[in-house]
Amino acid sequence: MSRAEVQRALLHPLAKPLVFTVWLLPFAWLVWAAVADRLGANPAEALIRALGDWTLRALVLVLLVTPLRVALGWPALARFRRMLGLFVFFYATLHWLAYVWFDMGFDWAEVVADIPKRPFILVGTLAWLMLLALAATSFNRAIRALGAPRWQRLHRLVYAVAGLAVLHFFWMRAGKNDFNEVAVYAAILGTLLGWRAWRRWRAHQGRGVSSRI
């Protein structure tokens, strides 16, 4: 497909509903698997981990939107970023609630006591709180209320979320000394964040050169 054809496809009225449906499919499959008893010997652990995995995948995709848009010349990709960001929050919320339900039995006093005791739960909860702030301000009314510069600064929290998510995953796998998947996500997210840092450095250098001319 040519660049123009891809642009037209991305701008099609059905594109957003299609992306929305695709990102609901993992949730639908997990619900079906839980009801049909297809989650293995420890369904609670399988559900918590699967929801965490889908949170990380959605986070990677959100951070991939801008590099793809710039590299491939597909500006219409930007129209999906907000929806994908809300899916990160959706799966992260389900991941956190699954921990509260299956590990803590919705005993909120136990939850509050448990969070500071286990580092991976602490950083995961901090990442979720940041995502909550981003989700609550992801709408046009919030952008107008905050003003574009402050809104942009706030939404750079997604970079901190990425770092905390990798740390959460690392500490969760440390008990089993299994870091293969952690290394993959760390490499991907590190590359995406590094690309942004490089772009900001290039932009800063460009401003410096123009100011000297």
Encode pLDDT of 41-86 as tens digits.
Answer: 899 999 999 999 999 999 999 999 999 999 999 999 999 999 999 9
Query: Is 211's pLDDT higher than 60?
Result: no
Contact predicate 47/102, CB 8 Å: yes
Q: How far apart are CA 52 and CA 46, in angstroms?
A: 10
Q: Report how far apart, in Å, the C-alpha atoms of 54 and of each of 29, 47, 200 are.
A: 12, 11, 29
Query: Is 213's pLDDT higher than 60?
Result: no
Q: Report how far apart, in Å, the C-alpha atoms of 70 and of each of 73, 74, 78, 136, 199 are.
A: 5, 7, 10, 27, 11
Q: How far apart are CA 121 and CA 110, in angstroms?
A: 13
Amino acid sitting at position 46: A
Q: Where are the domains of the chain?
A: 3-212
The pLDDT tens digits of the residues spanning 109-118 come to 999 999 999 9
Output the six-digit token pair for 174.
Answer: 């440390």
